[in-house]
Amino acid sequence: MQKPKIRSGIVGARFAANFHVDAVRRVYGTDPEIIGVVSNSLDTARAFAEPRGLTGFEDLDALLAEVDVIHVCVPAYAHEAIAVKALKRGVTPIIEKPFTGYFGDGSERFDARSMPRQEALDGALGSVKRMLDAEAASPARILYAENWVYVPAIQKQREILEKTGGQILWMHGEEAHSGSHSPAYGYWRLAGGGALVGKGCHPLTAALYLKRAEGRARDGKPIRPASITARTHEITRLDGYIDAGHIRTDYFDVEDFSMQHVTFEDGTIATIFASEVVMGGTHNWLEVVANNHRAICNINPNTAMQTYNPVGEAFRDIYVVEKIETKEGWAPTAPDEDFSTGFPQEIEAFYSAIATGDPVESDSALAADTVATMYAGYLSAEKAGAEVAIPLL
């Protein structure tokens, strides 16, 4: 039986675009064909596309005319406009994290440090609603590229919940490292926030996903978040901070540390930490404490492989693990980092769903809950950690 041909395009030409191309080329259940790439200039698009055997497109409209799917791999401030345009054309947008948010007044002078957080919450929810409305009016649908949902350990945890009828009592998760690759990160007007959004969205979405899965398995409906208390900090901008040169510090108006305490509809909880001040590679994990089991989902680092290298230069051409500062000594070397972080499984699931019409685990409803929770968290942090109800759509 011939596999269906699905034509796709990439919007963006940096870090995320690269691993999306790699993941599409690992898809086996359908027959995807990447048509080309569009970026902020034709030269940039061509510079990314040509070494990969792709075509650089001059603008988004030209790419949308040729494809069934687009991968939205640009800073978060552009997600809504691209997704809505795609949906109006009947093209499926695969939207990188964070799904969307609030990005101020569009001015380069925008400074979020003086912005009321209620304004940010209202603005983020407005963006989500416009995207959901566009999805409802389109033959296409939104696919939310939250790779943590498809991490093998998270999917195994979902299976445990479904087969044992377990109740999650508490989840504790974290994403942290020494600073983002993206030059857009650090400016609220481009990224929609700091560590709480840019890092915290990953473990938060995984936690929200698992409670949804638990509720569907036991009662036929998801268990959703109800309220949040949160704190944010700007540690690298403290007057007394001593910069030793190992941690990124050039953040303009965003936090570099956050803590979220989420209470779900059933009274159970999740605590989510995110920061830019942790060295030694990416630190990604989620612990699940249930009424009938306990699980620790180690994403990065994990012990699938460990290497010892006495001379850093010897590993010059060896990829070890994301964000590692040195290749000397012992390291949690990733034999296939993309697989352990869920990227190929995510894209495989998306293309299968596009071909069959089946539902996906990471959809616009999950994305909407994540955005509502995070921006309610910012409002809580402004109120020194006071509890804030999460205004779900």
Question: Is pLDDT at 33 greater than 80 in this prediction?
Answer: yes
Within 8 A by CB and 6+ apart from 7, the residues are: 32, 33, 35, 66, 67, 68, 69
Maximum pairwise Cα distance, the chain: 66
pLDDT-derived band at 24 (thresholds 50, 70, 90) equals very high
pLDDT grade, residue 213 (50/70/90)? very high
DSSP per residue over 204-264, as a string? HHHHHHHHHHHHHHHHSS---EEEEEEEEE-GGGSTT----SSS----SS--SEEEEEEEE
Question: Hey, what CATH class is 5-145 in?
Answer: alpha beta
In this predicted structure, what is the pLDDT of residue 184?
A: 86
238 token code pair: 């403290």
- Residue 322: per-residue pLDDT: 87
Neighbour tally for 305: CB within 10 Å: 13
pLDDT greater than 80 at residue 4 = no
Query: Does 199 have pLDDT greater than 60?
Result: yes
Return the pLDDT at 31: 86
The share of the chain scoring above pLDDT 90, in percent, equals: 91
CA separation, residue 148 to residues 116, 174, 208, 326, 379 (Å): 31, 12, 11, 26, 25
pLDDT surpasses 60 at 125? yes
The full set of domain ranges for the chain reads 5-145, 151-338+363-389
Is the pLDDT confidence value at 3 over 70?
no
CATH number of 151-338+363-389: 3.30.360.10
* pLDDT band (50, 70, 90) for residue 302: confident
What are the tens digits of pLDDT across the range 126-179? 999 999 999 999 999 999 999 999 999 999 999 999 999 999 999 999 999 999
pLDDT at 92 over 70: yes
Q: What is the pLDDT of residue 183?
A: 84
Q: Write the CB contacts of 126 (distance below 8 Å, at least 6 apart in sequence).
A: none
Is the CB of residue 342 less than 8 Å from the CB of residue 193? no
Q: What is the pLDDT of residue 29?
A: 82
**Type of residue at 95:** I
Tell me what pLDDT residue 30 has.
87
Q: Are 215 and 264 in contact (CB under 8 A)?
A: no
pLDDT on residue 149: 98
pTM above 0.75, yes or no: yes
Predicted confidence (pLDDT) per residue in 318-358, tens digit: 999 988 889 999 999 989 999 999 999 999 999 999 999 99
